[in-house]
Chain A
Amino acid sequence: MSRMLVPCHVKSTVALQVGDMRTSQGRPGVLVVDVTFPNVAPFELLEITFKNYYTAFLSIRVRHHTPLHTPSKWVTCLRDYCLMPDPHSEEGAQEYVSLFKHQMLCDVSRVLELRLILRQPSPLWLSFTVEELQIYQQGPKSPSLIFPKWLSHPVSSEQPAPRLEGLPDPSRVSSEVQQMWALTEMIRASHTSTRIGRFDVDGCYDLNLLSYT
């Protein structure tokens, strides 16, 4: 199934916090990231991939394209997806994640906008976000190859030759021979990746000092 990257514009994150942000001590635990798709028609969402950075839970809301004169509402398509099983520890903190269409709670066939709601309840982390966000839609179907008619519909013109007594059925033999041939081809085609084991270059192992890359 091919997929196509959808060019998107990720707006800067907005922190949701109660009270006056300048004077409050704590760090925000909820961030909202809006993703818009300028110049792209409403599309069918296939996959969302990103690299996590210390986000514990992810919710996604989607705004659909609706027929004219109907106001489009935000619908939750993913609710509290857990990225870090223990928000206080490092597990899952910097993992690459993929979310697919079949995991979504609602229909995502005419997406206009996405809203990612990131939650990190633990006060131990200084910041959290998601990085390298990429949205994919269904790619174009591979063009079906047109076979010439004589290849796909072989004409059975000749009369089958009269069977000689005592010999096995020719079609059966030919299918078995074909099977054998296929096996030998398979074995020949797979070449073993042998380990070379040489550590020198043409017998020489006279080295410089070690390099710091």
Chain B
Amino acid sequence: MLQEESDLSLIIAQIVQKLKGSNLYAQLERQAWACLQRPEVRLESLKEDIKEFFKISGWEKKLQNAVYSELNVYPLPSHPSAPPEHLKEPLVYMRKAQGSWEKRILKSLNSMCTELSIPLARKRPVGEQKELLNKWNEMGTDEPDLSLFRPVYAPKDFLEVLINLRNPNYENGDSLSFRTHLGLIQVPLKVKDIPELKECFVELGLSTGQLGIDDSTQVPPELFENEHVRIGQKVLLQQDSAAAQQYIRQGSPTALRAELWALILNISSQPEDILYYEQLKTNVIQHDLLVDSLIYKDVKLTASNDDYYFVFEDYLYQVLLCFSRDTSVLGHFAYNSASPPKSYIRGKLGLEEYAVFYPPNGVIPFHGFSMYVAPLCFLYHEPYKLYQIFREMYVRFFFRLHSISSHPSGIVSLCLLFETLLQTYLPQLFYHLREIGAQPLRISFKWMVRAFSGYLATDQLLLLWDRILGYNSLEILAGSSG
């Protein structure tokens, strides 16, 4: 009991510390000062009166949502002896594998840099800056020569790395044992079995109504759909993140989805956020990065060729170019097994005051990266709102799909979960595919890495992403693949 109490105080202290630097804290402070003028706030019961005011005016709810958001995103404080890399990834061999993979990516990027004689970063001349500002809303019309650029890596390269992942302390011998992995993933991570999945994803059971199934034309709307929409409107009125997250497990009505996602991700577009986005835009205008060409190439190769998403090409540039300049994304590396690439200002190699991260957000895009943003364009039309939603989705979920970690929502666990489910549910199919040399993971891997973006029709995809938000887990991707 003593231990639980001290753990709780540690969590509370951590959350308070995080929230102290946020906009919400400043706003609450201002509100508290302002409400001193109100007649019902008395000096002798100051604390209670201010608390009461917060409750009535909805500020307490906002604080509740912020705390809930922190609990969802940040892992619990770890053991005091544990070093920071343990929080990123507890298993040493996985950390090493991630490190080698990152080194390969850096080498690839460096060689592209030297071969093409293009600098990693370049300050734009004033003329070029003006030109870019003028065509900011139509960057898709630009047709730069990208033939020499190639994506740094594609999902299939990453799959090869995962297939070769081995625990040095594990019995990796050839002899068949009761725990031989018949699939491609050979690491013994703990994945949920069917009974555990049923318990975890109870709202997806057959006896519970679902949007996407129970709102089709054959089913009369009075049975489920109408009531579900009514509850959704009520949840939005209450502005409660936790309730919204619970509600969305059964799917979100199309009309309410944009607001529900913003509520769950705790995104409220304040003037500061719009200003921040404009600042990022200025950064894009001032500096040209090699990574920008990779983004251009990726959008041209993937989203522009897609029937559903080609109309959003300009939006994609506006979001992804700004994303690369956003240093606040660096915060997620505390719980991501990956680390941001580092470099030094030219001529100051080794001097820590001149060490910088490249790209500023530490994320090197790979082939298909722009597909994480594309489906969101259907929901949000202001670039700054679209940007905020994408950034939050990335630092909560998408980063796990392209880094090596033992986390239950990490891509390695998802692959293992998929293979295990397929072997359990459809053993004959699994065996047959193995026999003909077509390991099922090779087919489904690219679906999972892209969170099915580009492989499912948009309405289906958005319903799937509803569940990702609802359960705060990517395990649903493995279930959908199987």
Residues of A within 8 A of B46 (CB): 179-180, 183
A-B contact pairs, 8 of them (CB 8 A): A49-B81, A126-B170, A197-B279, A206-B119, A206-B122, A207-B121, A210-B342, A212-B106
Contacts of B216 in A (CB 8 A): none
Contact A93–B344 (Cβ < 8 Å): no
List, in ascending order, chain B residues with CB within 8 A of A86's CB.
Answer: 190
Would you give the shortest CB distance from B73 to chain A, in whole angstroms? 16
Query: Contact between B110 and A209 (Cβ–Cβ < 8 Å)?
Result: yes
Chain B residue contacts of A204, Cβ below 8 A = 123, 345
Once A102-B2, A201-B353 are accepted as A-B contacts, the answer to whether A206 and B81 lie under 8 Å apart by CB is: no
Q: Mark B68-94, 1 if CB is under 8 A from A, else 0.
A: 000000000011011000100011100
Report yes or no: A124 in contact with B343, Cβ–Cβ below 8 A: no
Q: Let me know if A74 is at the binding interface, CB within 8 A.
A: no
Q: Which residues, 89 to 123 on B, are CB-close (under 8 Å) to A?
A: 90-92, 103, 106-107, 109-110, 113-114, 119-123
B170: chain A residues at CB < 8 Å are 124-126
Q: Which residue of A lies closest to B353 (CB)?
A: A201
* B78 nearest CB across to chain A (Å): 7
Interface 9-mer from A31-39, A63-71, A109-117, A186-194: A186-194
Asked if B327 contacts A199 (CB within 8 A), the reply is: yes
A176→B44 CA distance, assembly (Å):
7
Note all chain A residues with C-beta closer than 8 A to B179: 88, 124
Given contacts A207-B344, A209-B113, 10 further A-B contacts (CB under 8 A): A49-B81, A85-B190, A91-B189, A94-B90, A183-B46, A192-B25, A201-B345, A208-B343, A208-B345, A212-B107
* Chain A interface residue number, banded: 35 or more
Residues B3 and A100 in contact, CB atoms below 8 Å apart: yes
> Does B158 touch A at the CB level, under 8 Å?
no
Q: Chain B nearest CB: distance from A34 CB in Å?
A: 22
Complexed CA–CA distance, A127 and B279 (Å): 54
Docked-complex contact A94 and B91, CB < 8 angstroms: yes
Binding site for B on A (CB under 8 A): 49, 51, 53-54, 85-86, 88-91, 93-98, 100, 102, 123-128, 132, 134, 176, 179-180, 183, 187, 190, 192-201, 204-213
- Shortest beta-carbon distance, A36 to chain B, in Å? 22
CA distance A200 to B177 in the complex (A): 55
**Within the complex, what minimum Cβ distance (angstroms) separates B95 from chain A?**
10
Q: Which residues of A contact B187 (CB under 8 A)?
A: 90
Identify which of A91, A97, A176, A195 contacts B43 (C-beta below 8 A): A176
Question: Do B90 and A95 touch across chains, with their CB atoms under 8 A apart?
Answer: yes
B171 close to A199 (CB less than 8 A) = no
Binds A, one of B203-211, B313-321, B356-364, B460-468: B356-364
CA A124 to CA B46, docked complex, whole Å: 62
Query: Residues of A contacting B2 with CB < 8 Å?
Result: 100, 102
Residues of A within 8 A of B327 (CB): 195-199
Chain B residue numbers with a CB within 8 Å of A90 are: 91, 167, 187-190, 406
B171: chain A residues at CB < 8 Å are 123-126
Chain B: CB-nearest residue to A175: B44
B86→A96 contact, CB < 8 A: yes
Complex Cα–Cα for A208 and B170 (A):
41
Chain B residues positioned under 8 Å from A123 (CB to CB): 171, 177
Contacts of B287 in A (CB 8 A): 200, 205
Interface flags for B45-86 (1: CB within 8 Å of A; 0: not) read 010000000000000000000000000000000110110001
In the complex, are the beta carbons of A208 and B81 less than 8 A apart?
Answer: no
Given contacts A96-B78, A204-B345, A206-B346, contact A54 B169 (CB under 8 A): yes
Contact assessment for B92 and A207 in the assembled complex, using a CB-CB cutoff below 8 Å: no
Q: How far is the CB of A2 from chain B (nearest CB, A)?
A: 14
Cα distance A62–B132 in the bound complex, in angstroms: 73
Q: How far is the CA of A103 from the CA of B76 in the complex (A)?
A: 22
CB-contacts of B1-55 with A (<8 A): 2-3, 20-21, 25-26, 29, 43-44, 46
B79 CB contacts on chain A under 8 angstroms: 49, 95-98
Q: Decide if A207 touches B190 in the complex (CB within 8 Å).
A: no
Roughly how many angstroms separate A211 CA and B26 CA in the complex, as a whole number? Answer: 39
B406 adjacent to A207 (CB under 8 Å): no
Chain A nearest CB, measured from B226 CB (Å): 43
Min CB–CB distance A5 → chain B (angstroms): 12
Q: Does B383 touch A at the CB level, under 8 Å?
A: no
Contact indicator per residue, chain B 332-349, by CB within 8 Å of chain A (1) or not (0): 000000000111111001
Chain A min CB distance to B295 (Å): 16
For the complex, what is the distance from the CA of A100 to the CA of B80, rounded to whole Å?
A: 14
**B114 neighbours in A (Cβ, 8 Å):** 209
Taking A123-B171, A124-B179, A126-B171 as contacts, is the C-beta distance between A205 and B123 under 8 angstroms?
Answer: yes
